[in-house]
């Protein structure tokens, strides 16, 4: 089911957390609300499921206005960060709870619970209590409970935050598999860009209560609308070089070095400051525009190695390379940048 937020506003006391936000999610799409903590992504999610009242604007499920429909009647499934399973009920009762409240008959409930338990791979756990389950299993139960009554919308609030690294990888694909299998419209709230990119069709990146960019993961990575987005997307993160425009070059601040600028940047006037974003994979030994610096930090990641290269003006560039070329800390290197892959930003952070 299509979800649309129109001019959504939410205030807590005198503070407007979100003002006039517009967002449309297509039916069957999985969308990530991505942003740092405090950006309003959870607030948006709680407004969609009805736990928080909206202070302005409209919320549409399909063509139906549900702005003032209480959360009990919105038919949304929510997976909470701490799963919020009911500790006094066993797993079966937890999953059956929404159906029991809806007063479905016993047989229907039983069939649906078994079916959903199969879907999330927990049919053998139904007799247990939540406390006897591991984090990943609790997560599956929470997912089953959210999905059992076939909601119009599935909302996931940081569902992977409480899991350890290995389980997080596993559940990432599990959630996506289940979402695709059920074809449900889903919103994922997360502060982890890897989660957002790997699980979702589109990402809405939020900052200070505003959606800064709404796009597909690939486009957002390659074409960030602002310095904030560029900094948020990518792991290891992008590094920035400050400088002033000198014809078609960037003269690095406090440095004698300069870099050629790409022709597809709409250049500001000479002498204006400009910030260049360079992703670690675009700073490589064999790229043309050379910069010299000293390796100040090495992080071995197995297949790849991440180098921090400190330039003479103190700025740091990151480079990720396949392991095999051994470099040592303190080594002076002259590596290159592909000017066409760099991202240029104006002083106010907007993309040039």
Q: Is 69 in the site for other proteins (CB under 8 A)?
A: no
297 near other proteins (CB under 8 A): no
Report the residue from 80, 167, 253, 258 that binds other proteins according to the rule CB under 8 A.
Answer: 80
- Phi first, then psi: give them for residue 194, nearest 5 degrees: -65, -45
Candidates 34, 43, 46, 295; binder of other proteins (CB under 8 A) is 46
Query: Is residue 240 a contact point for other proteins (CB under 8 A)?
Result: no
Contact 178/159 with Cβ under 8 angstroms?
A: no
Structure tokens at 278: 């360079």
83 neighbors 138 (Cβ within 8 angstroms) = yes
Place of tokens 């002498």: 271
CB of 77 to other proteins, least distance (A): 7
Q: Is 1 in the site for other proteins (CB under 8 A)?
A: no
Q: Please tell me whether residue 161 binds other proteins under the rule CB under 8 A.
A: no
Tell me the closest approach of the beta carbon of residue 50 to other proteins, in angstroms.
Answer: 7
Is 34 or 78 the residue whose CB approaches other proteins more closely?
A: 78
Give whichever of 42 and 262 is closer to other proteins, judged by the CB atom.
42
Q: Is residue 82 near other proteins by the rule CB under 8 A?
A: yes
Site for other proteins in 95-114 (CB under 8 A): 97-98, 101-102
**159 binds other proteins per the rule CB under 8 A:** no
- Shortest gap between Cβ of 96 and other proteins (angstroms)? 10
> C-beta of 48: minimal distance to other proteins in Å?
10
How many beta carbons lie within 10 A of that of residue 217, not counting itself?
A: 20
Contact 58, 67 (CB under 8 A): yes
Q: Give the separation between CA 164 and CA 172, rounded to whole angstroms.
A: 12
Q: Does 53 engage in binding with other proteins (CB under 8 A)? A: no
236 upstream amide cis, omega within 30 of 0: yes
The answer to whether residue 287 forms part of the interface with other proteins (CB under 8 A) is no
DSSP assignment of 105-150 equals -HHHHHHHHHHHHHHTT-GGGTTS-GGGS-HHHHHHHHHHHHHTT-
CB of 130: closest distance to other proteins in angstroms?
7
Q: According to the binding rule CB under 8 A, does residue 64 interact with other proteins?
A: no
C-alpha to C-alpha distances, 323 to 214, 300, 303, 304, nearest whole angstrom: 35, 8, 6, 5
Piece of the chain touching other proteins by CB under 8 A; list 76-84, 202-210, 306-314, 317-325: 76-84
Q: Which of 4, 16, 51, 69 binds other proteins (CB under 8 A)?
A: 51
Q: Among 35, 40, 50, 136, which residue sits at the site for other proteins (rule: CB under 8 A)?
A: 50
Q: Closest Cα to residue 236, out of 204, 282, 203?
A: 282
- For Cα atoms 279, 282, 288, give the angle at the middle one, nearest 5 degrees: 140
| Nearest CB to other proteins, comparing residues 108 and 254 | 108
Query: Binding residues for other proteins, per CB under 8 A?
Result: 46, 49-51, 70-74, 76-78, 80-82, 84-89, 97-98, 101-102, 130-131, 145, 149
């Amino acid at each position: 089911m299509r979800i649309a937020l129109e001019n959504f506003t939410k205030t807590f006391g005198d503070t407007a957390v979100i003002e006039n936000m517009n967002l449309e999610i297509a039916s069957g799409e999985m969308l990530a609300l991505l942003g740092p903590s405090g950006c309003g992504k959870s607030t948006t999610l709680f407004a969609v499921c009805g736990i928080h009242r909206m202070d302005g604007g409209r919320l549409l499920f399909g063509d139906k206005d549900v702005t003032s429909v209480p959360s009990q009647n919105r038919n949304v499934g929510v997976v909470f960060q701490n799963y919020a399973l009911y500790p006094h009920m066993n797993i079966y009762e937890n999953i059956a709870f929404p159906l029991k409240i809806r007063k479905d008959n016993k047989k229907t409930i039983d069939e649906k619970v078994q079916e959903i338990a199969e879907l999330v791979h927990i049919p053998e756990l139904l007799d247990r209590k939540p406390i006897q389950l591991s984090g990943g299993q609790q997560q599956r139960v929470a997912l089953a409970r959210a999905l059992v009554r076939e909601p119009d919308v599935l909302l996931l609030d940081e569902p992977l935050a409480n899991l350890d690294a290995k389980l997080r990888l596993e559940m990432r694909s599990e959630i996506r598999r289940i979402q695709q299998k059920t074809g449900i419209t889903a919103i994922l709230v997360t502060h982890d860009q890897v989660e957002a990119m790997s699980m979702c069709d589109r990402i809405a990146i939020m900052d200070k209560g505003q959606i800064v960019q709404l796009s597909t993961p690939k486009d957002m990575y390659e074409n960030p609308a602002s310095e904030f987005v560029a900094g948020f997307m990518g792991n290891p993160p992008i590094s920035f070089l400050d400088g002033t425009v000198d014809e078609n070059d960037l003269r690095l601040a406090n440095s004698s070095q300069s870099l050629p600028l790409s022709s597809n940047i709409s250049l500001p006037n000479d002498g204006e400051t400009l910030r260049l974003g360079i992703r670690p994979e675009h700073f490589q030994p064999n790229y043309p525009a050379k910069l010299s610096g000293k390796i100040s930090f090495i992080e071995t990641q197995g297949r790849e190695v991440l180098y921090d290269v400190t330039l003479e003006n103190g700025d740091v560039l990151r480079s990720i390379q396949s392991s095999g070329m051994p470099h040592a800390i303190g080594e002076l290197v002259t590596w290159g940048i592909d000017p066409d892959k760099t991202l240029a930003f104006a002083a106010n952070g907007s993309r040039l």
